Chains A and B, each alone.
Chain A
């Protein structure tokens, strides 16, 4: 593998500097009480050396087909998956056509006869085994996830992969306890589930889809996103090594056409999709009247609401984590910041400082905070919306950091002076771009936060318990983070209101999409 670009320092050129750089500086440069703005210098006096995670221990093929009926099968119409940090291809993946999808569905149908009848305690052991094998190979999986998708290794190592294993572990335990999940009801598996997942959390989304489906006795045909198929193929390898009965999990590669073939397949009982609201609507329309069950986890434009009494420094971290986690490629990102007017200037000043200390660069460097934008197309979309924000009159603030000279990167960015009607306040940008709006009263905060067709997530920062509960009730979103943001756990149901989709993933409620409940 070619090494990725070096992480680059955010050395500010246009920020006024008052603190001296040298260790010899004796006196402060400004007398107390001076109203001159004082700035901090995040320079290179003592710098972090490159700390690249090694890629030597990873194994993967140059060319992948599909995983059907427990075997890797060759395919055709190969496309390349690109490392977004280097713009170099990683491996080639086949595109499944309708015939290939049919083969996968047939394998899943056949396997359902075995898997659907298997004792829950046996299904559980397979899932536990997969969880353990993921833990054993977590380092390799983290590296591959960062190479293929561009996310910083710190996140794939500390967040994505541990959650993948935990998700399998959690649902493994459900497999033989389903009769206790919904008192008074009889439950049974749905059958064959077609699952289509996005590129922002490739392996984690696979786990969110596969683990509950298998725990409840379904078999699956899963399609990873065409820009991030690598770790799904590694998961197929683990599934084969775990000895899962052939056909219980089938993974087909491809882009939209392959997805459509899954959606349209007459012998699929249920579709689970995570992705954009536009595609979600196409899927909902496509299966209308077929009797197929559907769950959708779609876009969002999450409001992150900061009250004046909030723990400001933790709130600022919450804002940073809310919008820059995974380069902002997060459907539940806190992409709309609603700040109470009385603390607007303070919060904005802190944000300006904070984005200067974010390290943007090589996803495989262990010190990188913000990695590469997932694809050239996505980078283009982000740039177009940022241009729209600027031309609509909002004020842009960007980190002064240099960007690597190759790969798809974007500086951490936020806009102030944004109004509710601006495109950047309405449309999902899916990148490291935050829109800052203000409010005066709790009512106004709720009204603005809910003034969107989306309803996936919201954050509330306040030190007042009663207000937090009031807000949590009034916000129309499936996940409410109080004094925290972007937290995930396999026991915690996740999913949206309104146009952010329906159905929940995680916890007991996450079983429902895959069960007939009578």
Chain B
């Protein structure tokens, strides 16, 4: 199929226009009730993540505890959407999150480079799902994409999707390496066509990671695909979203581009680690009226 593959026709993107549009969401003023509701919604959308060479079972256990009950002082803060770990940590996470409803996401397919034979990558996916992952975060092979071998990218995503079985597939485009919004739009559409349940900006290992404009371009791809086919696809910006304020801007963007249906952790996630504590601090500030200090919030 690779040789016969005809890439989808996607609209061209004007960078300055897309950036301007994204900036508009930053000027939304979110205060009081909408701020509190937004922060809680965001908390429920967090894919609480640890993806380090130094990860240990202990680290993952702590993270899972944080995921279940982010703030001991504030039981009304919902648990996060998922915990995101490397494949070997899936069994530990599975044990810690039993009965919580929190999803286990694992970065498979030779994250973060994606530089391995497809067969090896598929084996890793199957093993990870078997170990208990609910969601697989895969990376596309950017080398294939940038060299114009779009058919290979499509085949790869399609094969991984099949290997996922019942697990949901998030496809990481690593937009920081695709560089242009035109590439982002095309890669998004290829991933969606090949069966992605979610599209995701970044591994977090490459700068820049998620930005508002790049997320906008991906949201618009999702929107147009939905309007054409009726199929909903989820979105996950990841990397670089560290503050509640910025996350609220993303939420406003989702609301205004995709509407209410996407305002749930079923369809929108934030890939982040330090964001959660900032959310908790802002919620505490709204409750108490005092500006907060990180010393009162547990590490994830």
Contact = CB atoms under 8 A, between A and B. Distances in A.
Interface of A: 18-26, 28-34, 36-49, 51, 154, 158, 309-314, 317-318, 349, 357, 366-367, 463, 483-484
B194 to A, nearest CB: 13
Given A23-B264, A23-B266, A317-B20, A40 B27 contact: no
Nearest to A22: B264
Nearest to B221: A313
Tell me what chain A mostly uses at the interface: helix, strand, loop, or mixed.
loop
Contacts of A309: 12
Contacts of B230: 18, 28-32, 34, 36, 38
Given A28-B232, A32-B231, A46-B263, A484 B16 contact: yes
B56 interface: no
Interface string B227-255: 11111100000000000000000011001
A213 B251 CA distance: 47
9 contacts: A32-B229, A38-B227, A40-B258, A48-B30, A310-B12, A311-B11, A312-B11, A317-B21, A483-B16
Given A33-B229, A38-B227, A40-B226, A21 B17 contact: no
Contacts of A51: 29-31
A22 B266 CA distance: 11
Interface in B23-49: 27-35, 37-38, 41
Interface in B245-284: 251-252, 255-256, 258-261, 263-266
- Looking at B29, B223, B229, which has the most chain A CB atoms within 10 Å of its CB? B29
A27 to B, nearest CB: 9
A49 B18 CA distance: 26
B266 A26 contact: yes
Contacts of B223: 40
A441 B256 CA distance: 34
B205 to A, nearest CB: 29
Contacts of A317: 17, 20-21
Contacts of A23: 263-266
B259 A43 contact: yes
B260 A45 contact: yes
A318 to B, nearest CB: 7
B220 interface: yes
Nearest to B41: A46
A114 to B, nearest CB: 44
A299 B12 CA distance: 33
A367 B41 contact: no
Contacts of A314: 13-14, 17-18, 21
Contacts of A36: 230
Contacts of A40: 223, 226-227, 258-259, 261
Contacts of A38: 226-230
Contacts of B227: 37-40, 349
A158 B27 contact: yes
Contacts of A30: 229-231
B142 to A, nearest CB: 23
Nearest to A356: B259
Nearest to A358: B256
Interface string B199-227: 00000000000000000000010010011
Nearest to B11: A312
Contacts of A349: 227
B154 to A, nearest CB: 16
A41 B229 CA distance: 16
Contacts of B229: 30, 32-34, 38
Contacts of A158: 27
B38 A28 contact: no
Nearest to A463: B12
Contacts of A20: 261
A28 B231 contact: yes
Nearest to A154: B27
A80 B261 CA distance: 47
A357 B21 CA distance: 13
A312 B13 CA distance: 8
Nearest to A317: B21
Contacts of A33: 229
Contacts of B27: 154, 158, 366
Contacts of B259: 19, 40-43, 357
B17 A19 contact: no
Given A23-B266, A48-B252, 7 more contacts: A42-B260, A45-B263, A48-B34, A51-B30, A313-B21, A314-B13, A483-B17
Contacts of A39: 227
Contact of A357 (B32, B228, B256): B256
- Looking at A47, A48, A318, A367, which has the most chain B CB atoms within 10 Å of its CB? A48
Contacts of A37: 227
Given A30-B230, A366-B29, A483 B263 contact: no
- Looking at A23, A33, A484, which has the most chain B CB atoms within 10 Å of its CB? A23
Nearest 7 pairs between A and B by C-beta?
A30-B230, A314-B17, A19-B261, A23-B264, A51-B29, A366-B29, A45-B260
Contact of A46 (B13, B14, B38, B226): B38
A365 to B, nearest CB: 8
Nearest to A309: B12
Interface string B150-161: 000000000000
A154 B27 CA distance: 8
Contacts of A48: 28-30, 34, 252
B17 A311 contact: yes
A25 to B, nearest CB: 7
Contacts of A483: 14, 16-17
A39 B232 CA distance: 12
B262 to A, nearest CB: 8
Given A19-B261, A483-B17, A46 B251 contact: yes
